[in-house]
Each structure stands twice: as structure tokens, then as C-alpha cells.
Amino acid sequence: MTSVKFKLNGKDVAVELDPSMRLIDVLRDHFSLKGVKEGCGEGSCGACVVLMDGYSVNSCLLPLANVEGHEIVTIEGFKETKQFDVLQKAFAEVGGSQCGFCSPGMIIAAQSLLSHNPHPTEEEIRAHMSGNLCRCTGYQAIVQAVEIASKKGAGLW
């Protein structure tokens, strides 16, 4: 078995696992990072998104081999950042999380958006986040949360 090396939540890791394994299984089962959720297993719902080199990717579609040499950040790593704090306060303010199953993915997707476009329009938010499904909120609160975070966290992104 070959060893796959990558950076995970700020630490260098090397795993000896089947390189064709889905990244989501490696993260949940091998590293016990249970904040990464599986909602569909085919890249439709975004509950499993993680940051790869700062961009959101569906970890259910990514084979382990593809992360060799890259940097992966999950909600467990991201929740220690200032950006997370701004985002979570904004989500709390407007009710951007109901059942909470999609929430870690939503936060990661919002981070991916704001880090590349710190002041997105409503249309840009909806377009960028459209890979993440939510069945509870009707999305409006999440759009508002990203708008609030963009304002209150000005300078962070």
C-alpha cells in the first residue's frame, strides 16, 4: 500500500490506505472527523464539502490519491479560525442553521466564497453556494448570514 501525504487541518499527515478510497471515508473513519457529513454520496448536496487549497470540494467525489501534496481543511480545523467565528455569529443571528446537518458544509462553502470574493452580491452568493442543499431554511437566512459575515468580517478575507 502506498502512503498518501497531505496537510490536514494544519498538520502534515501520511496515511497508508487504498488510494482509491473516497476522501470522506478517510476523514470520517480514519481521522474521526465526523463534522464531514454524507448526505448523498454523489456530489449533489454539499454536506461533505471540505477546503482543498482554500476551495470547497465534495469529499465524497474525491479519491484519496488526489489530495497527495494538497492542504485539506475540515470544519474541525476551520472552527478554530477568526473567519469561522464571524460566520457562526452571522448564522446564529439570522437562523442560518435548523437541523444542522448541512451546516458544516455551508460554513465551508461560505469560507470558500468569501476568501475569493470578500464582498459578494446576493446573486453571487446564491450561485456559489448552489452546490450545497438545505431542506430546512429556504436558504434565505443563509444568504443573509453570508452577507452579514461579509460586512462584519471586512478585512478578514
Partner 1 sequence: MEFYKSSTPKIDFPEKIRGEAKFTDDFELPGMLYAETVRSTIAKGKIKEIKLPELPKGYYWISAKDIPGENVVNIIFSDWPIFADKEVHYVGESIGLFVGENKEVLHKLCRQISVIYEEEKPVFDLVNSYIHKEFTKGDFSKAEKNAVKTIKETYETGYQEQAYIEPQGILCYIDEDDKFYLTGSMQCPFYIRKAVARALGIAPEKVRVKQPAVGGAFGGKEHYPSLTGSQLAVAVNKIHRPVKMCYERFEDIAYTTKRHPSVSTYEAFIGKNNEILGLRIRVKLNGGAYKGCSGVVLSRALIASCNAYVFENLDVVGDVYCTNTVPTAAFRGFGSPQTIFAMEMFIHHVAKELGVDPLQLRMKYLAKQGDITTNSGKFHDPIILPQLLDKAMEMSDYKRKVVEYAKPGSNKGIGMSLFLHGCGFTGSGESTIINGKVKLVKDENDHVHVYASSADFGQGNRTTLARIVSNTLGLPAEQCTMEAADTDHTPDSGPTAASRTIIIVGFLMEKGAKQLKKIWKSGVRQEHVEGYVGPSYIHWDEDTMQGDAYPSYSWGVNVVEVSFDPVTYQIKVDHCWSTYDVGRVVDERIAVGQADGGLLQGLGYGYLEHMGIKDGKFRNRSLTDYIIPTFEDAPPMETAFIDNPFIYGANGAKGMGELTLVGGAPAIALAIEQAIGHKVNKIPATPEYIMEVINNDKR
Min CB(136)–partner 1 separation in Å: 5
Min CB(45)–partner 1 separation in Å: 6
Min CB(5)–partner 1 separation in Å: 24
Q: Which is nearer to partner 1, 69 or 72 (CB)?
A: 72
3-state secondary structure of 23: helix
Min CB(125)–partner 1 separation in Å: 7
Q: Which is nearer to partner 1, 69 or 100 (CB)?
A: 100
Q: Which is nearer to partner 1, 67 or 110 (CB)?
A: 110
Q: Which is nearer to partner 1, 132 or 150 (CB)?
A: 132
**What are the C-alpha distances in Å from 51 to residues 34, 91, 124, 135, 139?**
15, 19, 19, 23, 21
Task: State the cell numbers at 64.
Answer: 484519496
Q: Which is nearer to partner 1, 6 or 137 (CB)?
A: 137
CB–CB of 69/6 below 8 Å? yes
DSSP string, 34-64: TTS--SSSSSSS-TTEEEETTEEEETTS-BG
Question: What are the start-end ranges of the H helices in the chain?
Answer: 23-25, 75-78, 82-94, 103-116, 122-129, 140-152
Give residues in contact with partner 1 (CB under 8 A). Answer: 32, 34-42, 44-45, 47, 74-76, 79, 88, 91-92, 94-95, 97-104, 107, 122, 125-127, 129-130, 132-143
Min CB(137)–partner 1 separation in Å: 5
